[in-house]
Chain A
Amino acid sequence: MPQKSVLIPWRPVTSVVLLLLVWELAARAKLTPPLFLPPFSVVADQLCRSIADGSLTNDLALSLARAFGGLLVGTATGVACGLVMSRSRFAEWLIDPFVALGFPAPKIAFLPIFILWFGIGSSSKILLVAFACIFPVVIGTYNAARSVGRLFVWSALSLGSNRRSIFFHVILPACYPRIFTTFRIAVPVALITTFTAEMVAGGGGMGATLIYSQRFFESPTVFAYIVVMMCVGLVLDSALLSFQRRFLGWAEN
């Protein structure tokens, strides 16, 4: 790709700048009521003030703690379930229908149950996030473990490995790249679930503040929070992608 050698990619920058400019001008020209669309400069100003008074940082820390707490629980359980399912036919028979039913189910519908059982604090949200993340991880891990090349297993067997060491030294490492891929899928799921749960059930965090701001018609705050949520998703995904390229690059075709 020769034209990629240009240092600044002009076209993408142009479209972002153009979008912000149109936003600013449309709002300044009063094409829409400022309640619906505050100018970008006002949103940026509000963003700075929210960061300065610590409210945004607190909300973000709380939301991220919930999302990652749930992600951790969900991924750990999911990987364990997926590996056990790939090794034991009984476990596969036992867990499979729950995964088949749970995977396509809209997990947010279970929120009232989690609130009923675990209260409206952080624990219900963390567990709901774990519940939402577990299904893609189980399926991804199971498929990864099932598709480990027979050649690797046979080679290890002929070199004298026992079942235990084949599992820990052949199958598990061979699964890492695909487990990581499912983890990358689970991260946005965790974020969405956390924000939505906070919007529905309150209890602090980005989602709760967002919905309160909307109810009190503080539009600049609504926009500022949405911008931050977008950046969080973007930063996390590119961080995970570069981690994957750096440490799991050996699995690329």
Chain B
Amino acid sequence: MLIRPEAVSAGAARLIGRMSPLVLFIALWYGACSSGLVNSEFLPTPTKVAAALADLVSGGEIARNLFVTLFRAAVGLGLGSICGIWIGLMMARSERFKAYVTPIVGGTYSLPKSALIPLFALWFGIGNVTAIAAVFLACLLPMIVNTYHGVVTTPKVLVWSAQALGTTDRELPSQVLLRSAMPDIFTGLRIALGFSFVLAISTEMIASTSGIGKLIFLYGENGTYDYMFAAIACIVAVAFVADRVTLLGMHRLLRWHESAAADYERRRL
């Protein structure tokens, strides 16, 4: 689809208007620091943080660690989504499978997944596998639950129509069920995306030697707080962009769905 230039500039103007309180916030922060209202030991000035940020970005420190974190989050999220969609679909299609799996899914769902980090560290050592395993499990559960919900609530009419037109049982998931469950699967994906960042960073803080979580923690321990704030600002920005991209993709892919327009407006916040 073509994007009209005037739409882009209108969107940019709206974005600037929307984000202006952030400028206000930074001005207040600067004022509080320079007037000596808060101890600059505890809160570095925005200019110092910006300088640290520029240094981190130009030195490649951020890029290197961010890449490690994003790699772990993405692999865990990808694997978790695929398995979660499959298990959710199976649960919705087979009463027996559902009966056996429900207590395990229910138990794991309510378990705070970060509790497993020490266990995974014990099993897989310190490094990528531990982080990916933790992210995987955290992403798996929302995907299962949302896919299940989406498939179960597929309108019977759709299934009957497809069957009347000759869709076999094998084709049903890919042709009807998963497509109809798309909005729910995307909701799950968005939740899983949030979890993937949290778990990747938590694992790095607890049991890792690299990654942005470790970087933030190291700066905190060394007392270089301007760098610590800069690294945190980076991760907030990355998480924000990732969330927006998912939302945008969801909006694009679900254009055909009647709830999409209203949903998008509602979740714009």
Contact = CB atoms under 8 A, between A and B. Distances in A.
A, B bound: yes
A7 interface: no
A112 B204 CA distance: 13
Chain A interface residue count: which class? 35 or more
B21 A100 contact: no
B15 to A, nearest CB: 10
B228 interface: yes
Contacts of A217: 122
A4 to B, nearest CB: 11
A112 B222 CA distance: 11
A237 B261 CA distance: 32
Chain A, interface SS category: helix
Nearest to A138: B269
Contacts, number: 161
Nearest to A9: B99
A106 B194 contact: yes
Interface in B106-139: 106-119, 121-123
Nearest to B23: A97
Contacts of B156: none
A77 B154 CA distance: 38
Contacts of B117: 199
B29 interface: no
Nearest to B236: A105
Interface of B: 18-22, 24-25, 42, 96, 99-104, 106-119, 121-123, 193-194, 197-198, 201-202, 205-206, 212-213, 216-217, 219-220, 225, 228-229, 232, 235-236, 239-240, 242-243, 266, 269
11 contacts: A93-B21, A97-B20, A97-B21, A101-B22, A104-B239, A105-B235, A112-B219, A200-B206, A226-B115, A230-B107, A233-B112
